[in-house]
Structure formats: structure tokens, C-alpha cells
Amino acid sequence: MDVKQAITVNRSAEDLYQFWRDFEQLPRFMSHLESVAVTGEGLSHWVATAPAGAKVEWDAELVEDRPNELIAWRSLEGADVANSGLVRFIPAPGNKGTEVHIEMQYDPPGGKLGATAAKLFGEEPNQQTKDDLRAFKQVMETGEVVLSEGTLSRRQPSQPPEQAPEEAPTA
């Protein structure tokens, strides 16, 4: 599967690159990521949720790193989800922030059947990436991801209201 998305963020390419390059911060705005741990020079370990609450993990390596311009990666052999991609930081026309372009290629867990299941669970990769970029823009422009009640209900299962304890029968 190929994913391509872009957004303009009202911050410098340098600010955006530095934040993104600190991979351990990515779960702050990527809703499907549980964690990213840097494991060595140019190496990292990723844990993400897949459709139906399954977990997938992989190790990745940087294949290109141009400060303030581009970060490119690929997963290593043995990944639950083979993937590669890049993110570019391009000054926006008219000095109006920075365009962030992301391109990813990956093999979804379960192949085509898994991709179809992801869409059924509302986890279509292009839409998910678009949502993640919007959250990145919010973090970089306001310092937090603003969630509506509708967003919260999609991300967190609602809890049933607590029931009052049953009263013991009186004698």
C-alpha cells in the first residue's frame, strides 16, 4: 500500500524537523503508535496497534537524514509490518510556514484481506495519516492535540455508567 499526504504547518522547517526527528515523541500525535524507542545510532523499535486491537512491532533504520529537509526510513527484516517512507519539510510559498509531505509504503498485516479489514474498522491508512498530520499541526502550533467528544469516542471505548450497589434486604 502507498500513502501520500501533506499539510502546511505555521512553524519553521527546522522546528518541525527537530520535533519529528525525536522519534519517541511521534506517539503524541500518531494515534496508532503506542511507543517508539531509539535503540542505537539510526535504529529504533516501534510498537503500534493494528485493526481489532492487535499489536504489531518492527525495528527500523534511517536511510537518509538531511537536517531540516528530509527523514527517510525502512523497516528491518522480521518486521510484523514491512514498511518504508519519508517525510519532507519544504518552506511554504510566501513565507507561510512549512509544507510537511509524508510518503509511506507498507505491507498491511494480513495482506489485501488485512487492508480490507482495516478499512472496515475505520483505519484506512490515507485517512489515518491525514488525521495524524492534522494532530501534528495542532501540537506544533498550539502545543497540544485538541480532541472533540466525537474524536474521544472513536479513540477510547466508552465506559458504562457505574451502577449503584444493590442494597441488602432489610429484616
pLDDT of res. 19: 97
Average pLDDT of the residues in 35-42? 96
Query: Which position has the grid cell 512553524?
Result: 11
pLDDT of res. 1: 80
Is 43 part of any domain? yes
Question: What angle (nearest 5°) sits at the alpha carbon of residue 121, between those of residues 117 and 127?
Answer: 100
Partners of 8 in the beta sheet? 99
Is 153 part of any domain? no
Which has the minimum average pLDDT: 1-15, 29-43, 151-165?
A: 151-165
Q: Please tell me which residue, 86 or 113, carries the higher pLDDT value.
A: 86
Q: How many domains does the chain have?
A: 1
Beginning with the edge strand found earlier in the chain, give each strand of the sheet holding 43-49 in spatial order.
2-9, 98-106, 83-91, 70-75, 55-66, 43-49, 33-40
Q: Please tell me which residue, 167 or 159, carries the higher pLDDT value.
A: 167
Within 5-124, residue ranges assigned H as helices are 13-21, 111-120
User: Whole-prediction pTM value?
Assistant: 0.77
For residue 77, give the CATH number of its domain: 3.30.530.20
Is 169 part of any domain? no
| Angle, helices 13-21/125-142, rounded to nearest 10 degrees | 120
pLDDT of res. 81: 86
Is 28 part of any domain? yes
Is 106 part of any domain? yes
| Residues spanned by the domain of 130 | 2-148
pLDDT at position 111 over 70: no
Q: State the Cα–Cα distance between residues 22 and 150, nearest whole angstrom.
A: 29
Q: State the Cα–Cα distance between residues 25 and 125, nearest whole angstrom.
A: 20
Is 23 part of any domain? yes
Q: What are the tens digits of pLDDT across the range 124-150?
A: 778 889 999 999 999 999 988 776 555
pLDDT of res. 117: 46
Is 166 part of any domain? no
* Residue 27, Ramachandran bin (φ over 0: left; ψ between -120 and 50: alpha; else beta): alpha
DSSP string, 123-149: --HHHHHHHHHHHHHHHHHHSS----H
